[in-house]
Amino acid sequence: MTIESTAVSDTNLLEVENLKVHFTLPRRGLFGDPSIVHAVDGVSFTIPKGKTFGIVGESGSGKSTAALAIMRLLTPTAGTIFLDGSDISTIEGAELRSVRRKMQIIFQDPFSSLNPRKRAGQIIREPMDVMNIGEPGERDAKVVELFAKVGLRPEQLALFPHQFSGGQRQRIGIARALASQPELIVCDEPVSALDVAIQAQILNLLRELQEEFKLSYLFISHDLGVVQYVCDEIAVMYLGQIVEQADRISLFKQPLHPYTLALLSSVPKAHTQTTRDRTSRLEGDPPSPIDLPKGCRFAGRCPFAENRCHLQAPTLRRIGDGGHRVACHLVSDTGVPPQVAHKIG
């Protein structure tokens, strides 16, 4: 059986439609009802070929869960995932293995994502052997080439992961992701475990590789300063849903959702004139993803919340003629956010 191809878009590599990932927890007691965790609850976005799409949010927002579901490392509860026009949402077995080479992932922790018992060269070659990529006799030469591409020396191929620094280990992880010649790479917090100086080196490397290999990135991060540097389009997630989405310039120049403003205000290096003038602080904890509120999920922490915010959930709507979208009752159709409206009032 072949993967069904759908004419979705020739320009988009990835199209995610109404993605949901729910987890059922064990019953409490003999007669208790099972609890459901709404980790990802109706997320939609697209990634054009050769572009970088960022998802940001606090821990527990669902961003990494969404990424793992897109990689099919978790099973989606609902929704569709199109990779280069083919629906990969429900495929299994040989079909799923056949598309693995098109999408790879760079994990957050370079210390635990590499097999400590294998040498660096073996780690990078393994995807080629598993997926039968290229001629066996040519794979070692490809490993040497990839090693050089990520800034490592040939004599380091025989070393074990513990003999490398954190930044070098992440370079090995990047080389491993490139080994299958993918079109999409999911970067799941790829620099959060590294020193700031090393972060900049890895981010520059990712941008260089994207340009050379025409890669598309799904970039997951809690750091708005990082996504500002690497992403073309950014979605802000809160408690399983996208609350704001815009191109990089629009999001940082004019954040509309109070949650986005709060995130920007908490990151000094991401400050713009807008955030310096209209700062907002996050107070309290997010609601439980098991017992979700009826209205806006951010209402309990929002300093501008009105009665309707607690009663009716907002939809993600387009503002103006551009691509800026926001899920907030209090943002006007012309793009005036509540933080500005309250200041004027």
Please indicate, yes or no, if residue 134 is contained in any of the structural domains. Answer: yes
pLDDT at residue 242 above 90? yes
**Average pLDDT score over residue span 256-266:** 91
Computed from CA positions of residues 107, 272, 198, 53, in that sequence, does the dihedral angle turn out positive or negative? Answer: positive
Please indicate, yes or no, if residue 4 is contained in any of the structural domains. Answer: no
Please indicate, yes or no, if residue 2 is contained in any of the structural domains. Answer: no
- Of residues 94, 79, 148, 159, the one with CA closest to residue 122: 159
In this prediction, residue 28 has a pLDDT band, given cuts at 50, 70 and 90, of: confident
pLDDT at residue 13 above 60? yes
264 or 33, which is more confident: 264
- Per-residue model confidence (pLDDT) at position 1: 34
- Per-residue model confidence (pLDDT) at position 291: 87
30 or 41, which is more confident: 41
- Per-residue model confidence (pLDDT) at position 9: 57
Is 323 strand, coil or helix? coil
Quote the number of domains for the chain. Answer: 2
pLDDT at residue 6 above 50? no
**Average pLDDT score over residue span 197-210:** 95
Q: Are both 107 and 242 inside the same structural domain?
A: yes
pLDDT at residue 25 above 70? yes
- Per-residue model confidence (pLDDT) at position 32: 67
Last residue of a domain, one of 253, 279, 300: 253
Q: Are both 40 and 151 inside the same structural domain?
A: yes
pLDDT at residue 84 above 90? yes
Gyration radius of the chain over CA positions: 21
Q: Are both 165 and 299 inside the same structural domain?
A: no
- Could you please report the per-residue DSSP string of 170-204? HHHHHHHHHTT--SEEEEESTTTTS-HHHHHHHHH
- Of residues 206, 205, 228, the one with CA closest to residue 217: 206
- Per-residue model confidence (pLDDT) at position 266: 74
pLDDT at residue 174 above 60? yes
136-145, 271-280, 285-294: least confident range: 271-280
DSSP, res 298: T
Q: Are both 334 and 186 inside the same structural domain?
A: no
pLDDT at residue 278 above 50? no
Predicted TM-score (pTM) of the model is 0.90
Q: CATH code at 187?
A: 3.40.50.300
29-43, 167-181, 310-324: least confident range: 29-43
- Per-residue model confidence (pLDDT) at position 246: 97
- Cα–Cα distance for residue pair 263/57, rounded to 1 Å: 8
Please indicate, yes or no, if residue 1 is contained in any of the structural domains. Answer: no
Tell me the CB-side half-sphere exposure of residue 266, using CA atoms within 13 A. Answer: 15
Q: Are both 247 and 334 inside the same structural domain?
A: no
- Per-residue model confidence (pLDDT) at position 7: 41
Q: How many percent of the chain have pLDDT more than 90? A: 73
- Per-residue model confidence (pLDDT) at position 268: 62
22, burial (CB in 10 Å: exposed 0-12, middle 13-18, buried 19+): middle
Q: Taking the CB of residue 298, how many other CB atoms lie within 10 A of it?
A: 24
**Average pLDDT score over residue span 83-100:** 92
Q: Are both 170 and 302 inside the same structural domain?
A: no
In this prediction, residue 241 has a pLDDT band, given cuts at 50, 70 and 90, of: very high
On average, the pLDDT of the chain sits at 89
In this prediction, residue 342 has a pLDDT band, given cuts at 50, 70 and 90, of: low
**Average pLDDT score over residue span 1-12:** 53
- Cα–Cα distance for residue pair 152/342, rounded to 1 Å: 54
Q: Are both 329 and 227 inside the same structural domain?
A: no
In this prediction, residue 283 has a pLDDT band, given cuts at 50, 70 and 90, of: confident
- Per-residue model confidence (pLDDT) at position 77: 96
Q: Are both 42 and 153 inside the same structural domain?
A: yes
Last residue of a domain, one of 230, 253, 276: 253
335 or 281, which is more confident: 335
DSSP, res 55: E
**Average pLDDT score over residue span 37-43:** 96
* Angle formed at CA 161 by CA 210 and CA 70, multiple of 5 degrees: 45
**Average pLDDT score over residue span 122-134:** 94
Please indicate, yes or no, if residue 93 is contained in any of the structural domains. Answer: yes
Give the domain range for residue 314. Answer: 254-345
Last residue of a domain, one of 227, 253, 279: 253
Q: Are both 238 and 291 inside the same structural domain?
A: no
Is 109 strand, coil or helix? coil
**Average pLDDT score over residue span 189-217:** 94
Please indicate, yes or no, if residue 5 is contained in any of the structural domains. Answer: no
271-274 long-range contacts, Cβ below 8 Å, gap at least 24? none
Please indicate, yes or no, if residue 7 is contained in any of the structural domains. Answer: no
Q: Are both 198 and 55 inside the same structural domain?
A: yes
DSSP, res 40: E
Please indicate, yes or no, if residue 27 is contained in any of the structural domains. Answer: yes
122-128 long-range contacts, Cβ below 8 Å, gap at least 24? 123/161, 123/172, 123/176, 124/172, 124/175, 124/176, 124/179, 125/179, 126/176, 126/179, 127/101, 127/176, 127/179, 127/180, 128/179, 128/180
Q: Are both 130 and 90 inside the same structural domain?
A: yes
Q: Are both 136 and 196 inside the same structural domain?
A: yes
